[in-house]
Amino acid sequence: MASPEETRANLAACAAAGAVEALVFQRTPLFIAQTPPCPTGGGASGTAAVFTDRRGKTLRSALLDGMWITTEDAPFACAGEIADLSALGIGRFRCDWSWRTEPSAAVAAAWRAVREGASPPGSHDANFSRGLR
């Protein structure tokens, strides 16, 4: 699977070898722990504690499968780059919903956006676009 830090040249070389799948959506875990990262905890499995980091980003920590998974509110998404990735020869794309805490309707809306070749509102592309230029 391609990293969001990949370069155009490396993606093209991997695609030519038939050895790449591009991640186009993920609520990337910032850390995974056995203890809650904040005093308020969360609650029942699947519920999230919300807090702000020192840079002002909203984070959510949810108890999922017995572990506290902390993610940024804004998911990684580069679905707007699917056409460029396809032009490089990449034919497989992945959306990772493993760490989602949002309601099913929000997931369905994000999935529709990705399938239409658009990154969902409020997402970020990390350094992916920089690497493709």
pLDDT band for position 39 (cuts 50, 70, 90) = low
DSSP 22-44: EEEEE--EEEEESS-SSTT---S
Q: Work out the burial of residue 72: count CB atoms within 10 Å of its CB; fewer than 13 is exposed, 13-18 middle, 19 or more buried.
A: middle
Taking the C-alpha atoms of residue 59 and residue 74, their distance in angstroms, rounded to an integer, is: 9
Taking the C-alpha atoms of residue 49 and residue 64, their distance in angstroms, rounded to an integer, is: 12
pLDDT at 131 over 70: no
pLDDT band for position 37 (cuts 50, 70, 90) = confident
Q: Which two tokens stand for residue 86?
A: 């396809």
Q: What percent of the chain has pLDDT over 90?
A: 12
Tell which wins on pLDDT, 70 or 3: 70
